[in-house]
Amino acid sequence: MQLQFSFIIPVYNRPDEIEELLQSFVGLDTSTEYEIVIVEDGSTIASKAVVETYKKKLNISYFFKENSGPGDSRNFGMQHAKGNYFIILDSDCILPNNYLNAVEKSLTANYVDCFGGPDAAHDSFTNLQKAINFSMTSVITTGGIRGNKNSVDTFQPRSFNMGVSKEAFITSKGFGRIHPGEDPDLSIRLWHLGFKTRLIPEAFVYHKRRISWHKFYKQVHKFGLVRPILNVWHPSTKKITYWFPTVFCIGFLIAAALLFLNIKWGITAYMLYFVIAFLTALIATRSIIVSVLSLIAICVQFFGYGYGFLKSTFAISVLKKNPETFFPQLFFKSK
């Protein structure tokens, strides 16, 4: 099969990010032809002027549509793309120059209809961005699944760096209305339809993460809210490991309470974990500042996700609430 790539990039009020991403396309080391489809999702700060400056350098199509969320915007882009294999990126990503070569080499050798790639921190990123990247990708926090070369073939790609064949898109009808969580939902539905997914470790992107502590907490809290919904929709994908952040947080509160009773073994165990986390971050980032910030990022990630997961599990499994009614902020309306 001759692969014809179309990059699908939704954007919402982020012209500066599109500028950086398109500049990284200019630097791609590839002889493969491809197109870029920019979908402006009802932005009030448009990226059209930025896109126009790159039209002589890159094969770009630009579309403006009413705001309906990133999943629907990706579907829109794939519907208007000319290729037979779609590569979906978030606007806050930057491509290394070997990205497309890595994707093409892997798919040519071992074709799958859906792939995902890891994310990494670029040297130009802020210390906060590097710390959050460590927290989101380290083996001691997420199990390293976002970047682990030993990840199994039943990998759930994330839409910041995800490939989907045209056949898989048409058969599955693309992303659903939930957000976040639309990407694992699509991956699981593709499995049920007989398509395979895989991690391509070499196809990484620099994921900038336009983030502050508040925004990071809000993001991971939503991740926690979404996972129990996906577990109800797709019960065969339930894993005990999804409970880890919640158990971690409850255990920490218990350990802190026991400390008042002069029982120290619990808090000692947590201190040991954070020492290991600090040393792991120091080895990975070679920065004391980033390593300290990484400890804060881990706490924000675990407590945000853990609380969201517990709240959503209680609402859905115990109170039997309808997810869309109880958590309307997680669903975009149909158009």
User: What does the pLDDT read at residue 152?
Assistant: 47
**Residue 209 pLDDT class (50, 70, 90 cuts):** confident
CB 128 within 8 A of CB 209: no
User: What does the pLDDT read at residue 148?
Assistant: 47
Note the pTM of the prediction, 2 decimals. Answer: 0.91
Which of 48-57, 99-108, 208-217, 240-249 is least confident? 208-217
Q: φ, ψ for residue 110 (rounded to 5)?
A: -150, 85
CATH superfamily to which 5-117+157-211 belongs: Spore Coat Polysaccharide Biosynthesis Protein SpsA; Chain A (3.90.550.10)
**Residue 139 pLDDT class (50, 70, 90 cuts):** confident
Domains in the chain: boundaries: 5-117+157-211, 223-330
CB 143 within 8 A of CB 230: no
CB 209 within 8 A of CB 91: no
Token pair in block for residue 7? 């990059």
Q: φ, ψ for residue 67 (rounded to 5)?
A: -65, 125
Q: Distance between CA atoms of 250 and 266, rounded to whole angstroms?
A: 12
CB 195 within 8 A of CB 241: no
Q: 129, exposed or middle or buried, with CB in 10 Å at 0-12, 13-18, 19+?
A: buried
Q: Distance between CA atoms of 128 and 91, rounded to whole angstroms?
A: 19
Judge if the upstream peptide bond of residue 245 is cis by omega within 30 degrees of 0.
no
CB 43 within 8 A of CB 11: yes
Q: Distance between CA atoms of 16 and 269, rounded to whole angstroms?
A: 44
3 state DSSP class of 65: strand
Written as one string, the DSSP assignment of 152-177 is -SS----TTEEEEEHHHHHHHTS--S
**Residue 158 pLDDT class (50, 70, 90 cuts):** very high
